[in-house]
Chains A and B, each alone.
Chain A
Amino acid sequence: MTELDEARALLAEFPVVDGHNDLPWALREQVRYDLGARDISVSQSAHLHTDIPRLRAGGVGAQYWSVYVRSDLPGAVTATLEQIDCVRQLIERHPADLRAALTAADLEAARAEGRIASLMGAEGGHSIDNSLATLRGLYELGVRYLTLTHNDNVDWADSATDAPRVGGLSAFGREVVGEMNRLGMLVDLSHVAATTMRDALDASVAPVIFSHSSARAVCDHPRNIPDDVLARLSANGGVAMVTFVPKFVLQAAVDWTVAADENMRAHGFHHLDTTADAMKVHEAFQESHPRPVATAATVADHLDHMREVAGVDHLGIGGDYDGTAFTPDGLDDVSGYPNLLAELLRRGWSRSDLAKLTWQNSVRVLGAAEDVARDLRATRAPSNATIESLDG
């Protein structure tokens, strides 16, 4: 049996819980939520990284669908509700393949049924507009993690890719974390500044996640996790879900991306724009500047390191498919996970280690957040603190 066959066999038993997929945003941008125009029950490889046949081929058993909205535009709450509606519609349209999941028990039930558990994660504190009531609204609609920031700071937390302002979490930021703990919504520390990661680890009484981040010691990019933070995951119980985005995981790609982003801006596009016109500009740049190529081995390097520092019980996977223009060779779309597992098998990872990486750790973390919430709800009323009252 080749490593790839072994990987597939393992995924059949312990499928991937993927921490981050931007299909909803791609559907919003490409077809304005006309889900019939991008029927994911058949191949959409011409347009998307993600469709059901490839999720099946990739051994995905649970997906946190990102309900991301841009932080540089007004109307974040509005757009987030539309994103949530999109995910709910996807689940409704594909009942044989997708199952709405809100709890760890739902994840296990979906695995038992052979359906892909569908969870939601909101990407950036701007989606709650400084309102804990809005946070609760998102939770009720099914959102099970909130990334505290996206690429820009929010009023109460610093982003990894913005100028430091509050120096981590403000008092209101800690209140947000406390309310998330009370609800059972996972605190996601991808995208946030290292100072925010440390403050959130101090503030949270539930395990945290990194929905799509890799190791800074392997590739020095602010989107990755410093070793001192990775080392705290064993005490916290959380998971770092390794991401595949070449411009975060491969140093040569980091440098190339800086140049490519400048080119996009010079042509008047947002550097994350994935519309057809923007992609043309991207492709032209790529012709004149050959793009450094990451592979499954690049990602495996990160996992090897993260395993050393955080421990095998604190690893997961967050591909960021349909949220990135480029993907590593062999991990081109959501069908690629078996290639990553095959690489890890070649490096001597055991079956039980891989089962933790793909399925068990992530399920455990959601269940732990539920347990904490059950305790906190018994003693603490919903918080109606305002940013004005706490941050002055």
Chain B
Amino acid sequence: MADLQDDLHAADEVTELDGLMSGEAVAVLGADAYTLVSDPDSEPLERAHAILAAHPVADGYTGLPWVLRHLPWYDLELGESSVDTDLPRLRDGHVGALLWSLHLPEGLTGDRAVGATLEQLDLVKSVARAYPEGLRLAGTAGQVADARNHGRIAVLLGPATAAALGDSLGILRSLHALGLRALTLSGASWASGAGLTRFGEEVVREMNRLGVVADVSGASEDTVRRVFAVSKAPVLCTRSAARALRPHPANLPDELLAELGAAKGLCMVPMTAEQTGPTVRDVADHLDHVRAVAGPGSVGLSGTYDAGTAHPRELRDPSGYPHLVAELLRRGWPESDIALLTWGNVQRVLRGADFTARAAQLRREPSTARISDLDG
């Protein structure tokens, strides 16, 4: 059964049929109903494997699509040494869901950016379809849970770059129809260092209506605050750690972390030397900090593999997650918080996006606003 994850999971998680339940309700139920899955007396690493088997990692970012675009040949099924991410290592690390970044190199704008994003979407889908026993495309929280219950790693499309919209809400809707589920709100005239313009706010509202999650990693503080205020659905930071511990521009200051927690957003801490530090303990420090400031419901994991950055030694590739979880157990994290960190929080955010979209579609027509009308 090399094609399946090591353990088969009982289908206890709510899947696509629970459409009427809000994200929060699920999170609350999850916390109340939490049952231990590891033996508290066993070794931390052994416990980590047991916990991850039940609550796999929903990883917030991989740069794999852009890397694969430039590889003439690869085999993710048997193992691919030219990248950090392949199926054996994803399985060893208990990764159950992964956001596939559609980010583009800087400088691509307009039609070039839209076209390149279409190509990246096509590439990720082709890869997912080429490894049907390892990967499965998923667009909603229910489909992510279904993928996991089938022993597949859920492939989520996004985040894409803001430039991918070509400044058009029609394109946002078309990209959503093609499966896009997250968009990073930086690097466009309507989401820049100066904050979110009126058109930018309309983009966020349309994203809410569609169920595209806003990613504010790398966005300016003004933008982040405005998105918190405008968005009816929880917001993601797909690659942000704590600035109090490490001064990186994409890391969040404590104030914003607290606001993120209050807004029920999710800060996904990257496994990169430059943002979190060179050791697994550094990453754990950030997780401790974000959990303390934003709350256990607002912290997640972001491998950020194959994105051109250096990684802590024990976390060179996705197979290292059990080491990280073992470190957190040694620091006294309760199992229920680890379950939220690895899996529960991401599912809550996805479910929140679905729920918001369903509610918004009853009230709002597709927006025909144009950037020239709103931003002049």
Contacts and interface: CB of A to CB of B under 8 A. Distances in A.
Nearest to B118: A137
A171 interface: no
Contacts of B10: none
Interface size band for B: 20 to 34
A129 interface: yes
Interface residues of A, number: 28
B119 A32 contact: no
A74 interface: yes
Interface string B112-137: 00110011011101100010000000
B114 A81 contact: yes
B51 to A, nearest CB: 38
A297 interface: no
B111 A78 contact: yes
Contact of B171 (A74, A81, A92, A131): A81
A337 B255 CA distance: 67
A89 B110 contact: no
A34 B368 CA distance: 6
Secondary structure of the A side of the interface? helix
B108 to A, nearest CB: 13
Contacts of B121: 133, 137
A140 B111 contact: no
B193 interface: no
Contacts of A95: none
The CB with the most chain B CB atoms within 10 A, among A32, A89, A137, is that of: A137
A76 B126 CA distance: 24
A78 B168 contact: yes
A85 B368 contact: no
Interface in B164-188: 166, 168, 170-171, 173-175, 177-178
A345 B191 CA distance: 62
B166 A78 contact: yes
A131 B178 contact: no
A133 B123 contact: yes
Given A81-B174, A88-B173, A129 B115 contact: yes
Nearest to A80: B174
B366 interface: yes
B177 A75 contact: no
Contact of A137 (B110, B173, B178, B370): B178
B115 A84 contact: no
The CB with the most chain B CB atoms within 10 A, among A75, A77, A89, A129, is that of: A77
Contact of A78 (B114, B173, B177): B114
B118 A85 contact: no
A36 B367 CA distance: 12
Secondary structure of the B side of the interface? helix
Contacts of B130: 381
Contacts of A75: 110-111, 166
Given A85-B173, A141-B177, A141-B178, A78 B110 contact: yes
Contacts of A84: 174, 177
Contacts of A154: none
Interface string B83-125: 0000000000000000000000000001100110011011101
Contact of A88 (B110, B111, B168, B177): B177
B177 A129 contact: no
Contacts of A129: 111, 115
Contacts of B125: 140
Interface in B137-170: 166, 168, 170
A85 B114 contact: no
B368 A32 contact: yes
Contacts of B177: 84-85, 88, 141
Nearest to A89: B366
A277 to B, nearest CB: 19
A198 interface: no
A131 B119 contact: yes
B164 to A, nearest CB: 10
Interface in A169-217: none
A64 interface: no
Interface in A122-136: 129, 131, 133-134, 136
5 contacts: A76-B111, A78-B168, A78-B171, A81-B114, A134-B122
Interface of B: 110-111, 114-115, 118-119, 121-123, 125-126, 130, 166, 168, 170-171, 173-175, 177-178, 365-366, 368, 370
Top 7 closest pairs, chain A to chain B, by CB: A82-B170, A133-B122, A85-B170, A133-B119, A81-B174, A137-B118, A78-B166
Interface of A: 32-36, 74-78, 81-82, 84-86, 88-89, 92, 129, 131, 133-134, 136-137, 140-141, 381-382
Given A77-B111, A84-B177, 9 more contacts: A32-B370, A74-B110, A77-B118, A82-B170, A85-B366, A88-B174, A88-B177, A134-B122, A381-B126
